[in-house]
Structure 1
């Protein structure tokens, strides 16, 4: 019989009148990987916060090593028990080095020489998970890309300092990683499970569940509704269990592009000497591909700044992938975050047209299923995925005819993704232009043209029919010539 490591029994968590978890019960076995599936707001991250000691439950217990902890335990108890968590929102201190961030969660790293020891531990763990990462313990976290920060966060979660690591919780760990780096992590998860470490993987990437998990726990509306053995499991079975099955999915469509002269095409020069052109024909979806950190996000920022600087008739919107740093205003309500472009209305004597704001938000909340809190609640009361939906709705509800998207599907569930894909195609058919950087290769099927980046240069331009997994990977590793 498999050895049980940790159990939850009857766990309830409430946020005011909202019940985030209801009577959750589950057994986690030593040396297995359990993937957790569910729509945004299903309670996945809340359950992981209870297991990691970051939140106490209102009822129920967590059982481990023969002891029962009523309403869960605190963070110190969790760390002592060998439980680690890689949260969906990065918890690194940007003004500190990587080795200093190690000490933040491992205070036992002290006395003379602690920096050297911390650096050696984290660099060794990075080597084990992400060979060829190129990071050093002395690097300042704020100087790293979002992908590199995610790698450090993951390595810190697996790193062993004084107590064995027994359970590692990974909440959307690949949301900022490209396909290649994600593959490195998934391989390490399987290796860790073989070595006796239990891993809990929360992800909306169904192929990651099938590749890594021994079992899939499906949550819906704060409850565990199904447990599926990963053997012989397919994506459709998981989606059906989530209650989000969309018959046939969304089929990419070919849209006729406008050709009324040069005004129909937007153009930017990239790379050394600015010899490479990025062309975006009005009414099309343009993809940016390649390994993470190869200049895609930098170019999106450059395009956004350039359009704003010209003060042209063209309106532009930006959907940030790093929502905490670039997307949400953490002190504002959900509705205010949604409609920041309209908060100062010169035609309204009260500055804010609250009725129009509420009606517009309600319309888009229904369109992309924003759920979990009232519009008047703080934006952080939503799950990460629902926060991302607000950013999407903000861009699509605006007057922007050019929308820039920086890996925008981070933490968004599969049902909502399909709805957003359909929305993007419908908006493009109306003449709106999208430039879309994504680390999910499947999404390039919705792009009319894809530019593959490496080292800040475009290595290949692929039409939709050419955009296969093999072609994308080959172009991502293609040598860059001067």
Structure 2
């Protein structure tokens, strides 16, 4: 596709792509990309999982060398564009899969991408730089810069990664790639980041925002690049920017979201809660759920929602009369979800490890062996349901984009025989079309009697829940029914003290 520019931006081309293509063996990830990244603009990048967005950004960051095409930096051709050239051009990147070293402190992680921080007093300088940038982007974050990364929440690690990318040591920061930067942030922290991105663009820093949160693109982007199957299919100017135009360019059909009226009616007819948990020592935080109910967990990130899910998992699987079959969809897929050296199929159908079985998988009588023909059938059925395309199920899980990896984890839970599904922000980094499919799957499975407890940082997803528990400081402040779960009510409850 030919290059499209917005006349009113008026910025100079910082980096220009001419006919960039990238192949991995027989897989063509990018095809004939022409685009100019202009100084001081915010470019939103939208597309399905596997559309080529992350690959394009990896080329821009110098991680991948293009198979063909030319790259210009400040109007001059770059014979060999690699990570070194990109860094000297002022390119920084926050990849979707975080790159912090868990056994190092925040300040020590600064030195990985800022090797100039050395000599006497480097630790003090690194800590000061990080605290200053964290406070600029995320006011009131509470981090001091000396914490071990392993002790941080997923939200805090995302904040550190973002602040590290915007920190200036030697070379100026001129272009920052943000790949799904708000996927681990709550609504309040995400708003802080978006406000900073807009200010950074106004100061002349080019910001590239890859996100499936189309509302975020609408708020901050000057232009939107829409990708599909490794190509740019449209470049939308701000005057044409709406959720509808973006979705249409992605090739999606617009459908009204179905409200969960049927679910609410069914739950109201239930005899009463079949699951009940009391969380925390001496806590009054009680969670209950009926069979077939979809329960939401909400509130600002890091307020105890994930810990509550883990406590429920432990209580539900402990030996005793109330033991249940439970599946857990991890929010931090890199640390707690995927098995990186295994295939897509093995990651999806691994219940046999603990003696469980996937729905439809049978053990051969008398031998305790898995019926692998049945297992393959289950994997293939879920491959179609979750829409994994362009990769063999025998390929490594890391060959998939981050969003597609998340879809595999979701499919793993639903393919199991679990009655209770615990979900820790399961649609993080998943495209709008797949989200809609996931919502439908949740409704269908709930209608069959499965219970879902769903922590999400996307408040609009709570409309699919029958009831929502709002957390603050590891306690529930309010319980909102579906028709009460407005943005205003959620915000008010997120800052309340524990309910009486």
- TM over 0.5, shorter chain: yes
Q: Does 1:29 align with 2:29?
A: no
Shift of 1:449: 0.2
Q: Does 1:136 align with 2:154?
A: no
Shift of 1:260: 6.3
For 1:458, the equivalent position in structure 2 comes to 476
Q: Does 1:191 align with 2:199?
A: yes
For 2:6, the equivalent position in structure 1 comes to none
C-alpha contact 1:98 1:152 (8 A) present in aligned 2: yes
For 1:180, the equivalent position in structure 2 comes to 188
Aligned pairs for 1:21-420 (under 5 A) are 21-70=30-79, 73-255=81-263, 256-257=266-267, 264-271=273-280, 273-310=282-319, 314-342=324-352, 346-347=363-364, 351-420=369-438
C-alpha contact 1:217 1:224 (8 A) present in aligned 2: yes
Deviations 1:290-336 (A, max 9, x none): 00000000010111122222265621100111101111000100000
CA distance in 2: counterparts of 1:357 and 1:12, whole angstroms: 37
CA distance in 2: counterparts of 1:137 and 1:275, whole angstroms: 34
Sort the Cα spacing of 1:481 and 1:464 in 2 relative to 1 into closer, same or farther, 3 A: closer
Give the match's secondary structure for 2:112: helix
Q: Does 1:433 align with 2:451?
A: yes
Shift of 1:481: 7.2
Shift of 1:12: 1.1
C-alpha contact 2:276 2:288 (8 A) present in aligned 1: yes
Sort the Cα spacing of 1:481 and 1:357 in 2 relative to 1 into closer, same or farther, 3 A: closer
For 2:24, the equivalent position in structure 1 comes to 15
C-alpha contact 1:98 1:137 (8 A) present in aligned 2: yes
CA distance in 2: counterparts of 1:399 and 1:248, whole angstroms: 31
> Where does structure 2 lack aligned partners over 5 or more consecutive residues?
1-9, 356-361
> Where does structure 1 lack aligned partners over 5 or more consecutive residues?
none
C-alpha contact 2:270 2:290 (8 A) present in aligned 1: no
Pairwise CA RMSD? 1.7
Give the match's secondary structure for 2:108: helix
Q: Does 1:6 align with 2:15?
A: yes
- Paired residues, number: 480
CA distance in 2: counterparts of 1:37 and 1:79, whole angstroms: 25
Question: TM-score under structure 1 normalisation?
Answer: 0.96
C-alpha contact 1:218 1:227 (8 A) present in aligned 2: yes
Deviates more, 1:365-374 or 1:36-45: 365-374
For 2:496, the equivalent position in structure 1 comes to 478
CA distance in 1: counterparts of 2:450 and 2:69, whole angstroms: 50
Shift of 1:232: 4.6
Question: TM-score under structure 2 normalisation?
Answer: 0.93
Deviations 1:425-461 (A, max 9, x none): 1111111000000000000000000000000000011
